[in-house]
Structures are given as C-alpha cells and as structure tokens.
C-alpha cells in the first residue's frame, strides 16, 4: 500500500512503507560492495596536491567567475547549451569501473566522448551542475538523457543492470570528456587545502554544497588508499587552473550518517529544509547539514559570505528551478516539491543575511 504526502498544496508523491528499510538494505549492500572492491583492486598512486606542482603554483587559479544575468541562464542545457547535447547513435567504448556508480564511456554521432552514469545519481548530478554553474561555479557539460540505446555494449559488469541485451537504457547522465580544457589527472585539492581559503567564492561553494544536501564532499584526503575516491578536480585552460566540484550526484535527498543518507528524494529533501539553517550562536552560523567533512564545509562561513552569494543565487527564478529539475529527470510533482524546498532554503539564507547582530538566534527563518 502506498502512502501519499501533500506538500505545498499540490505535489503528492507515492511512498512505500518499506522505503526506509529498502534504503537501509541498499546502503548495507553498497558498503559490502565497497569493501569487496577495496580488497580486490590494487592501490595506484594517489593524486598530488596542486601546490606540489610549480606550473600550478605559478598559474592563474580560479574557482568562480561572474555569471552575469543569472535570471537569464538556461537551465535546460546548462554550460554546454543545446549545441553540445549528446547526439545518437551512441557507440560503446568501455565500461568505467572507477567509483561506486555504474558508468560507461560512449562516442556520439558528432564524435564526442561521454561518460554515462546510471542509477540514483544521474538526476542530481545533472541538476546541481546547472545550479552551481548559474551562480558562477565551473561545471562540466552535463545532460540527462531519458532513454536511448548504446551500440556494441558488451562484457558489462556493474552497468549490466542498466543496459539491456539490445543496448537500451533509461535515465542516464551524460558528461562530456574533452581535450580542452584539460582534466588534470593525478592532481587534486581539498576543502582546507586550496588557494581560496577565506574568500567569498570558496565559502559560497561550500554553502552551495549544503544547499543541495550534497553529503559526499570527498577531496584529496580521501585518495590516500583509493586514488579515484575524490569529488574535487582541476582543469587546465591555457595558463589558468580551474578548481571545481566534479561530482554532485549524492545530493537532493537526506544528509546525515551513512544509513540515513539518500539521493534525489523530494520528500526527504523537503523535510530537511526546515533544519537547513539552525541559527547563529556566539557569532557562528549553525547548519543542520551533516555529511562527509562536515566541519570543513561549515568552517569559516560568515554572514558576509551569504550576502555575497545571494547577489547571484537570489536572482535564480522559480521557473528556472522547475525547468532545470524537469530537464534532469524529475516528474512534474517531484519538480514542484524540490523547487519549493529549494526556495525555502534560499529564503532561510536571505533571512540569515539580514541578521545584523551576532547574538543567539534560535531560528532566523521565522
């Protein structure tokens, strides 16, 4: 028997009574899989910190650029626009076994190579790159493809559950792999190891991570035993080095501890929105967010950073949010709930930015 939740007067989403138990079982199975993979895969060389390379130290480093008229940003296609969207037919190149999500690489009709991700991260990875890019952060060209077929897919392992015998798939994230800008292999950064500490741009990115409940904030510290175990990355474009978040897939659900985390769950995301900003106490902003490296994400954020970010985030419209969600695989009902929750969280940030005195504040959103 399904349960229905009424949110904001319209959106209602079916929820199985067994959904929480199913998520816990899935988490246990994933943990077991991770342990098996870790024991079976030999350890390659871990990435080097960006500051160990003289070329990066001397180069121009950036993590943000002025996005211009945010309210006119196209949330359908994102940074790549309609010109770069994947063009069928797709030809299988290889299966990508890095990380924990099923992925393959394909080449499209235009000769472009794409990393195709399946599973619950496909939609949040697409939408969150749209939102981050809209407010000035770098994002890779990423598209959601609702259905299609991949020619020549063979000898699949993890991806075999998402690509059938005729090569057909549903619900995939396509991320462009290009030679320019160049993805720096073997070089990385961390939330506390980067050239932007104390800046509005870095702190704004940390707020964006918490805004979308992206609990998987892995960085260079997590690559010591497993070199691919990071979600931060660097691109080189000429003499410029672009620092960015490479993976937003663990977002738009529950934050929290391992067995309570979810991805792309509008009901979970909506329910946690009331606890997004808990207040200010003794001059420190208190957040409800919990995830990987929580302390690093919260550390150093002040009201001035919120005010700076809202110059751009505050101009994103409800129509843009809904469009981005729908083009990332959400249903109409899901888009309604997600957009309502995002707007509530943005209002909490706006209320926080208006708070002038550093006293105790139980809930600045009320």
Q: What's the pLDDT at 222?
A: 86
For residue 149, list its beta bridge partners. 168
Q: Is residue 269 part of a domain?
A: yes
Q: Is residue 262 part of a domain?
A: yes
Q: Supply 61's token pair.
A: 């480093």
- Cβ atoms of residues 70 and 312 within 8 Å: yes
Q: Is residue 8 part of a domain?
A: no
3-state SS class at 335: helix
Q: Is residue 101 part of a domain?
A: yes
Global confidence as pTM: 0.85
Q: Is residue 270 part of a domain?
A: yes
Mean pLDDT of the chain: 87
pLDDT at position 49 over 90: yes
Rounded Cα distance between 255 and 25, Å, is 17
pLDDT tens digits, 240-288: 999 999 999 999 999 987 788 999 999 999 999 999 999 998 888 999 9
Rounded Cα distance between 10 and 337, Å, is 9
Q: Is residue 290 part of a domain?
A: yes
Encode 321-335 in three state secondary structure: HHHHHHCCCCCHHHH
- Cβ atoms of residues 137 and 245 within 8 Å: yes
Q: What's the pLDDT at 27?
A: 52
Rg of the chain's alpha carbons, rounded to an integer? 20
| Window from 2-6, 44-48, 271-275, 353-357 with minimum mean pLDDT | 2-6
Q: Per-residue b/e over 161-172, b at no fewer than 16 CB within 10 Å? A: ebbeeebebebb
Q: First and final CA of the chain: distance in angstroms?
A: 36
Rounded Cα distance between 172 and 126, Å, is 9
Q: Could you list the residue range(s) of the whole structural domain that residue 172 is in?
A: 50-353
pLDDT tens digits, 142-190: 999 999 999 999 999 999 999 999 999 999 999 999 888 899 989 999 9
Number of domains forming the structure of the chain: 1
Rounded Cα distance between 157 and 329, Å, is 25
Q: Is residue 3 part of a domain?
A: no
Rounded Cα distance between 274 and 286, Å, is 13
């Amino acid at each position: 028997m399904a349960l229905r939740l009424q949110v904001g007067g319209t959106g209602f989403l079916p929820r199985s009574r067994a959904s929480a138990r199913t998520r816990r079982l899935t988490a246990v199975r994933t943990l077991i899989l991770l342990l098996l993979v870790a024991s079976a895969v030999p350890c390659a060389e871990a990435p080097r910190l960006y500051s160990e390379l003289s070329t990066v130290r001397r180069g121009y480093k950036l993590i943000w650029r002025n996005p211009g008229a945010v309210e006119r940003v196209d949330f359908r296609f994102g940074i790549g626009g309609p010109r770069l969207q994947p063009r069928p037919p797709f030809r299988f190149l290889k299966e990508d076994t890095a990380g924990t999500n099923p992925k393959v690489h394909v080449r499209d009709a235009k000769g472009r190579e794409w990393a195709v991700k399946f599973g619950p991260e496909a939609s949040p990875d697409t939408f969150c790159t749209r939102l981050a890019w809209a407010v000035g952060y770098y994002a890779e060209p990423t598209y959601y493809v609702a259905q299609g077929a991949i020619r020549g897919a063979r000898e699949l392992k993890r991806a075999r559950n998402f690509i059938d015998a005729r090569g057909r798939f549903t619900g995939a994230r396509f991320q462009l792999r290009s030679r320019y800008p160049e993805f720096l292999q073997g070089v990385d950064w961390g939330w506390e190891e980067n050239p932007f500490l104390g800046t509005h741009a870095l702190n704004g990115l940390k707020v964006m991570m918490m805004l979308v409940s992206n609990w998987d904030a892995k960085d260079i510290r997590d690559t010591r035993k497993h070199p691919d175990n990071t979600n931060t990355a660097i691109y080189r474009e000429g003499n410029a080095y672009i620092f960015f978040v490479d993976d937003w897939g663990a977002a738009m659900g529950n934050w929290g501890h391992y067995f309570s985390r979810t991805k792309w769950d509008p009901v979970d995301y909506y329910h946690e929105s009331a606890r997004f900003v808990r207040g200010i106490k003794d001059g420190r902003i208190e957040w409800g967010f919990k995830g990987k490296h929580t302390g690093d994400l919260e550390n150093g954020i002040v009201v001035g950073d919120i005010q700076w970010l809202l110059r751009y985030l505050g101009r994103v419209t409800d129509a843009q949010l809904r469009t981005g969600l729908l083009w990332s695989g959400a249903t109409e009902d899901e888009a309604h709930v997600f957009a309502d929750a995002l707007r509530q969280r943005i209002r909490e940030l706006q209320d926080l930015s208006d708070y002038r005195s550093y006293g105790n504040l139980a809930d600045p959103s009320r």
